Amino acid sequence: MKYFSVLSLLYEFLKTYPITVGLVVLLNCFHYLRTIIIPKNISKITLATTNSSIDINKLIIVTMVQVVILLIGMSLYEFADVRLHEAIQDFHLSKFFHSLFDNREKSLHKPITPSVYSNIVSYTNGINDLSSSFFLIFPLLVTIAGLLHFIYQHDFKCFIISGIVIGISFGYLIYCGKKIKDYALIYNKKKDELIDMNDDINNNIINVLSFDQRSSEKKNITQKIKEYLHYFRIYNLFKILFLESFSLTSTMLLIFVLFMFYKKMLIGTLSKGVFAESIVIFISFMISTLIKDMNNISRLFYKYGKTKNCLNSINRYYVKDPDILKRTFSVNNDNFIDIQNISYSIEGNQILKNLSLGINNNEFTCIQGKIGSGKSSLINIIFGIRYLDDGHIIINNNDINSTTTETWKKQFHYCSQHPVLFNRSVSDNIFYGDSHNIDKLYDIANKLNIKDLIDKLIKKENFVGSGGYKLSGGERQVISILRIALQPKPIIILDEPTASLDKFHKIIVCKIIEYIKNTHQVCILGVSHDIDLINSADRIITLEHGKIVRDVINNKNIKKL
């Protein structure tokens, strides 16, 4: 919502507040009918005059003036509120953190970024909503109550009190403006420090946050992020208070002018009926305003639920106990991954509830189920990019809740439906700089009878483009699976690796997965709907509504479950 002409703005809020406008018209008509039906010696309620006769033209004019002034007040309030949210967006963290986290051509550890980034954005959104909701209601109620009391009692003391409230609002406006200036300097300084540090590590903050960097670097950059978030929060808080103070002050003054104009210029004398009418109008306006703010507050609880994940996500990059990094995972033959009564929910929707599962080593376990059954959530929780509401995930007596993220992820290879390659040659993407593996690569190619395809890929010496967009989806997936075959880790997670692949590349990917399973002592955990990949699994688990409904050993002849 940008700038509007006066007429279009009034029209928009005429549609937004039809009940309030309708009440103005109906109450005036009610006064008109009561004046006609009830003799004036019984009723003291009059609309615009103490005379027994009613001027219809004056009735229409009074009603129109009330509606227009009321809509102008609402428009001013709403316009200031819109400008507030536009100002918030101008200083939003998303652009800054997007430039830091989403460097597609250089980031080698993409799976870490979504959780950290989305939770940081949710954290700041929650603070913005909290400030704009709670700092709006109380001053407006106090001032309106003071003004109404002044008009009803004809008491200039109340007028003075209301004036003091407005004066305090102006003073608060100036105070917040000064604080904005002070904290803006700190905010920009912290931001510049973070950007300078980011430049020092080759514009790739995620490498510092990932598992292959020194803990001192990681702790330093994490501390900078937390300081930045702290000052960003304070800066936004005072900026919001400044804009809300401006909005409140303008609204208060307009309400005061409305009542004075309404009383002295149109009515002349204030009856109880007119006072009751004004009360009803402003109550309806306040209800419509409070409903909007309560909606913001309800969304706030959800966003602050994510804030906990944000802080956990950041704190997991701290090395609180140096001994944690010395822990290693030994391989057991049974129940290499032990899932104990885990629960997980999103936006109040229960995805997994009290799920328990033991996953063996040296086995390919495939999970299937309908969309929304909890397959991907389970995989993401095991991998460490989603956090449990309750329960434990243990790998050889090491609990995910007491292990740092970087240590946990050292044990995983993750292959998604859309693998991300960095903008280098195919060889660089396969070998990760270790060209000694070329003999091992061709040994795999000969055993699987895919030497022609490997030759074709290796000959592509040009860079593959950001994310590997110059290659087909099948070629990117083959490269991703070959990486795992050359440098296997104890746990391999496959998230729909054959989805959207043509039949040729799907067969090759399945062959390489079969080779990994038969050659290395690894635990393979996959999610898939593809019958070819499911048939290559040793164990097939079916999820439905977050619960295991089927757990079978594959007899290699399964065609449909």
Q: Are residues 195 and 228 in the same domain?
A: yes
Residues 6+ positions from 479 with CB-CB distance below 8 Å = 419, 421, 426, 429, 430, 457, 468, 471
pLDDT recorded at residue 58: 61
Least confident of 66-75, 376-385, 488-497: 66-75
Q: Is residue 4 part of a domain?
A: no
Tokens of 135: 């700092």
Lowest mean pLDDT among 34-48, 50-64, 373-387, 429-443: 34-48
Q: Are residues 346 and 226 in the same domain?
A: no
Q: Which residue has the higher pLDDT, 179 or 325?
A: 179
286 and 415 assigned to the same domain: no
Highest mean pLDDT among 12-21, 122-131, 392-401: 392-401
**Within a domain: 501:** yes
Of 448, 558, 452, nearest to 508 (Cα)? 448
Asked if residue 463 belongs to a domain, the reply is yes
Q: Is residue 303 located within the same domain as residue 341?
A: no
What is the mean predicted confidence (pLDDT) over 76-92? 46
Lowest mean pLDDT among 166-175, 203-212, 326-335, 438-447: 203-212
Residue 449 lies in a domain: yes
Q: How far apart are CA 459 and CA 446, in angstroms?
A: 17
Exposure on the CB side of residue 306, measured as CA atoms within 13 A: 20
| Pairwise CA distance, residues 83 & 89, whole Å | 10
3-class SS at 153?
helix
pLDDT recorded at residue 49: 40
Average pLDDT over residues 187-191: 55
Q: Are residues 266 and 296 in the same domain?
A: yes
d(CA 273, CA 47): 8
Per-residue model confidence as pLDDT tens digits over 345-394: 876 678 888 888 888 888 888 988 888 788 888 888 887 777 777 788 88
Is 52 part of a structural domain of the chain?
A: no
Quickly state the pLDDT bin for 74 (edges 50, 70, 90): low
pLDDT at 1: 39
Are residue 394 and residue 280 in the same domain, yes or no? no
Residue 28 belongs to a domain? no
pLDDT for residue 218 is more than 60: no
Query: What is the C-alpha to C-alpha distance for residues 102 and 518, in angstroms, rounded to an integer?
Result: 36
**Domain tally for the chain?**
2
Give pLDDT, residue 61: 63
pLDDT of residue 337: 84
139 pLDDT higher than 60: no
Closest CA to 444 of 393, 414, 479, 418: 479
**Nearest 5°: phi and psi at 493?**
-110, 125
Whether residue 478 is predicted with pLDDT greater than 70 in this model: the reply is yes
Q: Using pLDDT thresholds of 50, 70 and 90, give the confidence band for residue 265.
A: very low
pLDDT for residue 86: 47
Does 536 reside within a domain? yes
Give the pLDDT of residue 382: 82
β-pairing, 539-544 with 523-527? unpaired
H/E stretch holding 478 reads helix 473-486
- What is the torsional sign of CA 275, 281, 283, 286? negative
Q: Residue 255 and residue 248: Cα distance in Å, rounded?
A: 10
Which pLDDT score is estimated for 172? 57
pLDDT at 100: 40
Q: Is the dihedral of CA 509, 515, 520, 524 positive or negative?
A: positive
DSSP state of 331: P
User: Residue 254 in contact with residue 75, Cβ under 8 Å?
Assistant: no
Looking at the structure, do residues 278 and 370 belong to the same domain, yes or no? no
Does 524 fall in a domain? yes
Range of lowest pLDDT (43-52, 243-252, 419-428, 466-475): 43-52
User: Both 371 and 248 in a single domain?
Assistant: no
Question: What DSSP element (H or E) covers 447?
Answer: helix 438-448
Q: Where are the beta strands (DSSP E) in 328-453?
A: 337-346, 349-359, 363-369, 390-395, 398-399, 412-415
Residue predicted with more confidence, 116 or 494 = 494
Confidence band for 428, pLDDT divided at 50, 70 and 90: confident
Q: What residue numbers bound the domain in which 449 lies?
A: 337-553
Work out the number of other CB atoms within 10 angstroms of the CB of residue 452: 9
| 513 shares a domain with 382 | yes
**Residue 520 near residue 331 (C-beta atoms within 8 A):** no
Q: What is the CATH number of the domain that holds 494?
A: 3.40.50.300
Residue range 141-185, pLDDT digits in tens: 445 555 555 555 555 655 665 566 556 655 655 565 565 555 555
